[in-house]
């Protein structure tokens, strides 16, 4: 009986500790992308340096989706569908960005992690060095975009293959811990060391290569 009481007391202490940790999480930003849940003025729509298309978000009742051409032949073209934006302030140190996406057939939404952005020659916001955590029907990819000798380049930093369903809502979570990024979605987890990761980062969302719907976004610490 004493052992049972001791175990019960221990479990209660652990439960209280877990609840305290959960309650102590600090919400840095939290929005829903319904018609009244966000302010577009607090976000920056920016370009990938390798893609001239700036992109545009289309407001739906409960979400936003990247603008796509009516021409079926261009419906999945990267240079006609890529829309990406970041929240208008940097976040320093360890934090977690999360967003709920719905993947259209063949499409690829994701979370953007940008070290900086600046106007291009035409005055349009454009990323410098940045990362994309992209989900699609065959899993998740982490892409690193950078410039070398004045030329925009990109490389696949990490990936994990598994199945995701089209037209199904999934929450993607990306946690930055010092120089590592940990990504999780649909019970799958992966982590990678990113030595060049800056201390202060912009976080945001994107959609491309088809219709991508975004329902919410949050950054917590």
Closest CA to 49 of 108, 117, 127, 139: 127
- Establish if 66 belongs to a structural domain: yes
> DSSP letter at 211?
-
Average pLDDT over residues 176-197: 96
Residue 10 has pLDDT above 50, yes or no: no
Cβ partners under 8 Å of residue 18, min gap 6: none
Could you give the number of structural domains in the chain?
Answer: 1
Average pLDDT over residues 85-93: 97
Closest CA to 97 of 25, 204, 208: 204
- Quote the percentage of the chain above a pLDDT of 70: 89
pLDDT at 25: 78
pLDDT at 138: 97
Q: What is the CATH number of the domain that holds 153?
A: 2.60.120.200
pLDDT at 8: 44
C-alpha–C-alpha distance, residues 120 and 16, integer Å: 52
pTM of the model: 0.88
- Establish if 51 belongs to a structural domain: yes
- Establish if 195 belongs to a structural domain: yes
Q: Give residue-wise pLDDT tens across range 29-80.
A: 999 999 999 999 999 999 999 999 999 999 999 999 999 999 999 999 999 9
Unique residue bearing structure tokens 């990024």: 181
Q: Give residue-wise pLDDT tens across range 159-185.
A: 999 999 999 999 999 999 999 999 999
Domain of 185 in residue numbering reads as 27-220
């Amino acid at each position: 009986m004493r052992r049972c009481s001791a175990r019960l007391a221990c479990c209660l202490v652990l439960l209280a500790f877990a609840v305290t940790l959960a309650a102590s999480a600090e919400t840095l930003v939290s929005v829903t992308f319904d018609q009244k849940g966000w302010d577009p003025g607090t976000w920056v729509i920016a370009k990938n340096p390798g893609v001239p298309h700036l992109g545009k978000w289309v407001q739906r009742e409960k979400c936003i989706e990247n603008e796509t051409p009516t021409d079926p032949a261009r419906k999945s073209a990267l240079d006609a569908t890529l829309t990406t934006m970041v929240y208008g302030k940097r976040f320093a140190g360890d934090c977690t960005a999360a967003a709920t996406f719905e993947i259209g057939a063949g499409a690829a939404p994701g979370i953007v992690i940008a070290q900086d952005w600046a106007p291009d020659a035409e005055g349009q916001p454009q990323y410098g060095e940045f990362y994309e955590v992209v989900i699609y029907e065959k899993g998740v990819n982490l892409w690193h975009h950078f410039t070398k000798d004045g030329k925009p380049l990109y490389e696949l930093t990490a990936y994990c293959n598994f199945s995701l369903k089209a037209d199904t809502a999934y929450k993607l979570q990306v946690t930055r811990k010092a120089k590592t990024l940990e990504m999780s979605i649909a019970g799958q987890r992966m982590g990678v060391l990113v030595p060049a990761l800056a201390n202060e980062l912009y976080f945001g969302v994107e959609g491309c290569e088809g219709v991508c719907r975004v329902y919410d976004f949050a950054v917590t610490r």
